[in-house]
Structure 1
Amino acid sequence: MDNTIPWRLLLALAVLPLLAAAVDLPQLNIWSGQDHKLDFQAQESWLLLAEHDRRLDGQVGPGQVIVRLPSLVAGSTEKAKLIVDGQPVARIVIWSPKILAGLEADLADARRTVADALTNLGLLQSKRTKAADHAVSVVAGPTQARPEGLSLLFAERHDLPVTIKSRWSDIAFGRSTQPGRLGVIYDDKEQIIYDRGNLTYVVLSEKNLASHKAKSRLIILTPDFDFQDIDNIVLLKSLIKEYQP
């Protein structure tokens, strides 16, 4: 009788306690289909494990962690744990190059470079017939913001500063992992979005007086918005997804 313990069982016994201890680990987003250099140095080995202990990548020997994965199907994701020298160090979310597949927006008024970048990421041109019917629109200037739904402006430097009109009752803002260039100035007379801050985006909302809910929103994104930065695009996906019909 062979008393040898199967190697898969040994791997599971070794890894399960590590995965259980990884609940509070930082989460990192990465693209599939390209090399990713992560800020981890292995002394002995590293391993990228998907669910059910499926090995996605790894290396025996010292060196920087460089993940190489084939492209995922459009719109899909994969979750994994990164283990370096036997210790879990990060939760990894792997995204398809077509991360925006399945989402749609009106790109008719978008700048061509912006429309091409979004299309390459999988975003579809909405097939709705009227501009007012589009839940999400990409515009080329703040005055093109739609009366309803979400308008996205990927600002260029010459678009700024922008004086915030009185129709916008609420102002919010945020940052991605990479700081942007936007800032907001408040004074007694006006509010201005300018080009020397560290915000990634500014959200202007117009509320429906009857329901007190947002009737329309204009999100202005930083002039240096990088369409290759995965964290930027994950943020963008969440903004667009909220307004899908």
Structure 2
Amino acid sequence: MSLDAFIMGLAFIIIHLAANQVLPSNRMKRLRWFSFSGGLAVSYVFVYVLPSLHKEQVIVKKYTDYLTMESELYFIGLIGVLIFYGIQKFVRKVDRKGDPKKHTTLFFMQIIFFAIYNMLVAYITVSSDVAGIQAVFYGLAIGLHFIAIAHDLWREYGVMYNQIGRYVLVLGIIAGWITGMLVQLSPLLQSIVFAFISGAMILNVLKYELPPDGEAHFPTFAIGVVAYTSITMSLKFFFQW
């Protein structure tokens, strides 16, 4: 594990433990915060995740003759969208307020679900061995993404999230760290994991991280998109990411 990956993982852990303490208490400032982080997240999807998915598809094609459509990894990403959306739809559809036992059961279901998500993200971070400036911008986007997820879970489950949920999510990150250090997957399997988690991330960003119309501050959102895209594209040009 590189030092950069270690620092990113440590930052992700701190984010889950203290996300709600760093968010502004003022409503307008909080809306601007989420609009800005939503802009960064959307930019990250279009300038990093999708190009990386295409690059992985090209790499995988070199290792096998069975992939002939040049879109197999995109299909894996679509499966990630389908599974994560289905689980979220099920959890949000059930009335969690009427039955305390059902509320607790759905809480653990959703927390375990996101712990697995965290584990896969942490694994990809460690196994990809990103470093330097690239690690900073990768970590910034993922970190803000984690803050949005943590805040959403806290709003839904309150005390249970603070007492149990955030620690389970941290265990997911640690599990991904350990897996990344001890398990070396083949290029094909690693690309499949990357495609699956990319699909889930795209869904989470576009459906759950973008502020609703009534809560969005568009100028701040636009600043996030333009700033992150401009800097990332410039760094890609100069450093050939």
What's the TM-score once normalised by structure 2's chain length? Answer: 0.22
Choose between structure 1 and 2 for higher RCO, CA contacts under 8 A separated by at least 6 residues. Answer: 2
Greater helix proportion: 2
Greater strand proportion: 1
For the pair shown, the structure with the greater C-alpha radius of gyration is: 1
